[in-house]
């Protein structure tokens, strides 16, 4: 099936985020270099030591062909009498070079291996910590399969580079540069002949580098798609089986698996072209050097030792170039992996943590919204808004005792408990409450009575809603209503209403310590035939006298109308009082 059709099934508009155009290749390389520099910075000493060790190792290794030629010319002396002492000295130096090469190689592998393992450890830790901090919107466009791919296949590609490929690449580069200088130094004529093939080698290398970069980026993209499809299908296997998506998912998997196969075939085709081509150039160059060098030796213009060293150096020159074709895929895979890892690490949370968080000294059930907007995938649904919501539980006893004969025998007590929530935005605020109220009249009298007394206790559950609006910063009006949802006795009417005003003086007294306040509250309900109960209060608010965030108030009150107390709701009452209140 076609790739377009498969992708149209999957809805993967954001799956190709990893597909980069040539115009951003430089940016990606700079991003990768920044990440690599940040990872390598803590291990500068180990890396410097590894560089010294690989230089010593390469120097010892590159001295071997020269020592072989020196032993032939000064120890064996073709056509003349050999000098065993000189030959023994050269062989001794050769053994020392071999020993230095082995020891330096061992130390380099130990140091570079530990540094590489530490770098990968830091990278995995950094990546895991970073993806946990990213916002939910990141995971809407970055599937779990791709994240798993970052933590597995991309890390594995870097590990393969650090474990084997990096050593070979560095050694090969040092060998190519050093041997080019050595060939010219040994014999200019043979050196120029050997370097005739260099333009072709450079052209082949450039062609391989450009195409292999594209090929191995395609390999990385393809393997990500395979992992994504596999993980997402098995992670949602219940939905897959419930909606009978097995044939469709199988077809999609075959498509992405085919892409992975084609990308690997493309990569292998490049390697199979570059490697044999370099090998052929090496053999042709060696044959030309042998032919021309043999002619010079026959003419007496070249020693056999120099010719032997030259041939051995040519082998060391072209063998690394052929090895580069084998390890260049490792290098490209690691480079593509590093680009993707750097991209993930550069993702920033859309809702970042505060740089200077404020300690929560006293927690309470409230949520505040300040300049909040809401959008889904760049489609705005809520414009900028500011508000606050509060949730809580309220309970209180309200005892009342008449001042008359046998007062202590017939007290009335109202018990109230409720769940409430409030919301505020700008000058508007709302209040929704569900509460229970029960009244108890003369409990002590009933308990002490010698004869049974039949009494009906008033109780109800009410849902009420109040809305308010601040006309100014010092004047607020409010109103609302409610309904009884549970009643005892059942004949109680349901409707309730309430309106009122609050006045908080904008001026203060006594250097800002006291503020005048006044309130008017008017309630009417169906059970008292909508007669209005009026409550008017006025007094002083003490700005510095607080309990938590509640301010202390001393208020004088007048009340007139149907009694608010339990079973006395049918009776009119009137009083003047003085009370202490906590206001917020």
CB neighbours (10 Å) of residue 456?
A: 9
At which of 291, 315, 345 does a domain end? 345
16 occurs within a structural domain: no
Q: What is the pLDDT of residues 164-222, one digit of tens each?
A: 667 777 777 788 888 888 888 888 888 888 888 888 888 888 888 778 777 877 887 78
Structure tokens at 204: 């082949």
DSSP H helical segments within 42-133, as ranges?
Answer: 44-70, 84-133
Q: What is the pLDDT of residues 66-102, one digit of tens each?
A: 888 888 878 786 656 667 888 888 889 999 999 999 9
CB neighbours (10 Å) of residue 274?
A: 23
Could you write out the DSSP letters of every residue in 169-193?
HHHHHHHHHHHHHHHHHH-HHHHHH
Q: What is the pLDDT of residues 519-528, one digit of tens each?
A: 999 998 888 8
Partnered with residue 561 across adjacent β-strands are: 573
13 occurs within a structural domain: no
Q: 247 and 98: one domain?
A: yes
**What percentage of the chain carries pLDDT values higher than 70?**
78
Q: 560 and 466: one domain?
A: yes
Burial, 400: exposed, middle or buried (Cβ in 10 Å; 0-12, 13-18, 19+)? middle
360 occurs within a structural domain: no
Structural domain of residue 400, as residue ranges?
Answer: 366-583
Q: Please give the pLDDT value at position 448.
A: 60
Q: Please give the pLDDT value at position 409.
A: 46
Give 501's pLDDT tier (boundaries 50, 70, 90): very high
Structure tokens at 488: 């005892």
- Counted domains in the chain: 2
User: Which of 21-30, 126-135, 209-218 is predicted most confidently?
Assistant: 126-135
Question: By the 8 A CB rule, do 120 and 337 touch?
Answer: no
Partnered with residue 581 across adjacent β-strands are: 553
Q: 417 and 522: one domain?
A: yes
408 occurs within a structural domain: yes
Cα 521 to Cα 146, 477, 559: the distances in Å are 62, 10, 10
pLDDT higher than 80, residue 385: no
Question: By the 8 A CB rule, do 482 and 494 touch?
Answer: no
1 occurs within a structural domain: no
Q: 404 and 446: one domain?
A: yes
| Residue 163: CATH number of its domain | 1.20.1560.10
* CA 240 from centre of chain: 28
Give 508's pLDDT tier (boundaries 50, 70, 90): confident
CB neighbours (10 Å) of residue 276?
A: 12
Nearest to 308 by CA among 297, 319, 322, 320: 297
Cα 45 to Cα 48, 51, 52: the distances in Å are 5, 10, 11
pLDDT higher than 80, residue 381: no
Q: 198 and 274: one domain?
A: yes
Give 415's pLDDT tier (boundaries 50, 70, 90): confident
HEC sequence for 382-413: EEEEEEEEEEEEEEEEEEECCCCCCHHHCCEE
8 occurs within a structural domain: no
Give 380's pLDDT tier (boundaries 50, 70, 90): low
Partnered with residue 559 across adjacent β-strands are: 535, 575
Distance between CA atoms of residues 29 and 339, nearest Å? 7
Q: What is the pLDDT averaged over residues 529-553? A: 84
Helix (H, G, I), strand (E, B) or coil at 143: coil
Q: Please give the pLDDT value at position 383.
A: 62
Structure tokens at 375: 């959008």
Q: Please give the pLDDT value at position 16.
A: 44
Q: Please give the pLDDT value at position 95.
A: 93
Q: 545 and 403: one domain?
A: yes
Give 107's pLDDT tier (boundaries 50, 70, 90): very high
502 occurs within a structural domain: yes
Q: 385 and 292: one domain?
A: no
Counts for the chain of helices (H) and strands (E), in that order: 14, 11
Question: By the 8 A CB rule, do 401 and 408 touch?
Answer: yes
301 occurs within a structural domain: yes
Q: What is the pLDDT averaged over residues 559-571? A: 77
Q: 138 and 271: one domain?
A: yes
Q: 327 and 231: one domain?
A: yes
Record the pTM. 0.54
Length of the chain measured in residues: 584
Q: What is the pLDDT averaged over residues 281-289? A: 86
Structure tokens at 247: 């044939």
Q: 376 and 334: one domain?
A: no
Helix (H, G, I), strand (E, B) or coil at 283: helix
Sign of the Cα pseudo-torsion (484, 489, 491, 496, in order): negative
Q: What is the pLDDT averaged over residues 296-324? A: 81
Q: How many CA atoms lie within 13 A of 474 on its CB side?
A: 9
Distance between CA atoms of residues 292 and 193, nearest Å? 9
Instruction: Phi first, then psi: give them for residue 512, nearest 5 degrees.
Output: 80, 10
Question: By the 8 A CB rule, do 433 and 561 touch?
Answer: no
Cα 528 to Cα 265, 304, 566: the distances in Å are 90, 127, 12
Q: Please give the pLDDT value at position 574.
A: 86
Q: 313 and 390: one domain?
A: no
Distance between CA atoms of residues 106 and 287, nearest Å? 35
Distance between CA atoms of residues 18 and 253, nearest Å? 19
Q: 305 and 214: one domain?
A: yes
Question: Which residues have a Cβ under 8 Å from the Cβ of 233 and sit 6 or more positions away?
Answer: 240, 249, 253
In 349-380, which positions are buried (b, 16+ CB within 10 angstroms) versus exposed (e)? eeeeeeeeeeeeeeeeeeeeeeeeeeeeeeee
């Amino acid at each position: 099936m076609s790739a377009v059709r498969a992708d149209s099934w999957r809805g993967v508009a954001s799956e190709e985020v990893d597909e980069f155009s040539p115009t951003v290749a430089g940016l990606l390389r700079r991003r990768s270099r920044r990440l690599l520099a940040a990872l390598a910075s803590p291990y500068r000493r180990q890396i410097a030591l590894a560089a010294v060790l690989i230089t010593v190792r390469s120097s010892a290794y590159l001295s071997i062909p020269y020592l072989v030629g020196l032993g032939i010319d000064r120890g064996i002396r073709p056509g003349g009498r050999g000098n065993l002492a000189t030959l023994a000295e050269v062989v001794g130096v050769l053994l020392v070079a071999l020993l230095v090469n082995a020891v330096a190689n061992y130390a380099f592998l130990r140091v570079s291996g530990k540094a590489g393992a530490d770098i990968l450890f830091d990278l995995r830790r950094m990546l895991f910590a970073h993806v946990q901090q990213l916002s939910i919107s990141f995971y809407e466009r970055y599937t779990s399969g791709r994240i798993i791919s970052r933590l597995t296949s991309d890390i594995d590609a870097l590990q393969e580079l650090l474990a084997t490929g990096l050593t070979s690449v560095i050694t090969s580069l040092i060998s190519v540069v050093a041997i080019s200088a050595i060939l010219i130094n040994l014999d200019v004529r043979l050196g120029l002949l050997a370097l005739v093939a260099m333009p072709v080698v450079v052209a082949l290398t450039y062609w391989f580098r450009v195409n292999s970069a594209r090929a191995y980026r395609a390999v990385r993209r393809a393997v990500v798609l395979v992992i994504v499809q596999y993980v997402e299908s098995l992670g949602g296997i219940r939905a897959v089986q419930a909606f009978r998506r097995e044939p469709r998912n199988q077809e999609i998997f075959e498509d992405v698996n085919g892409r992975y196969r084609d990308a690997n075939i493309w990569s292998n085709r490049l390697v199979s072209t570059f490697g044999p081509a370099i090998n052929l150039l090496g053999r042709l160059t060696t044959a030309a050097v042998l032919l021309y060098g043999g002619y010079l030796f026959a003419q007496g213009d070249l020693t056999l030792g120099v010719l032997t060293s030259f041939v051995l150096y040519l082998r060391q020159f072209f063998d690394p170039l052929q090895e580069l074709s084998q390890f260049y895929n490792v290098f490209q895979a690691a480079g593509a992996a590093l680009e993707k890892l750097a991209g993930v690490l550069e993702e920033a949370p859309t809702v970042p943590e505060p740089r200077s968080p404020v300690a929560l000294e006293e927690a309470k059930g409230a949520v505040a919204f300040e300049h909040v907007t809401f959008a889904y995938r760049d489609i705005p649904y809520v414009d900028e808004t500011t508000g606050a919501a509060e949730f809580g539980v309220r309970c209180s006893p309200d005892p009342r005792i008449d001042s008359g004969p046998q007062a202590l025998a017939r007290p009335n007590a109202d018990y109230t408990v409720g769940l409430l929530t409030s919301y505020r935005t700008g000058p508007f605020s709302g209040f929704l409450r569900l509460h229970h109220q029960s009244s108890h009249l003369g409990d002590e009298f009933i308990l002490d009575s010698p004869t049974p007394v039949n009494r009906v206790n008033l109780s109800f559950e009410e849902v009420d809603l109040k809305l308010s609006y601040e006309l100014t910063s010092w004047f607020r009006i409010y109103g609302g209503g409610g309904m009884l949802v549970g009643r005892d006795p059942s004949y109680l009417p349901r409707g309730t209403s309430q309106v009122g005003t609050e006045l908080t003086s904008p001026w203060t007294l006594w250097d800002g310590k006291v503020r005048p306040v006044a309130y008017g509250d008017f309630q009417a309900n169906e059970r008292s035939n909508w007669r209005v109960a009026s409550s008017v209060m006025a007094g002083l608010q003490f700005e510095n006298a607080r309990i938590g965030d509640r301010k202390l108030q001393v208020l004088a009150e007048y009340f007139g109308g149907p009694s608010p107390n339990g079973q006395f709701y049918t009776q009119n009452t009137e009083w003047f009082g003085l009370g202490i209140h906590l206001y917020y």
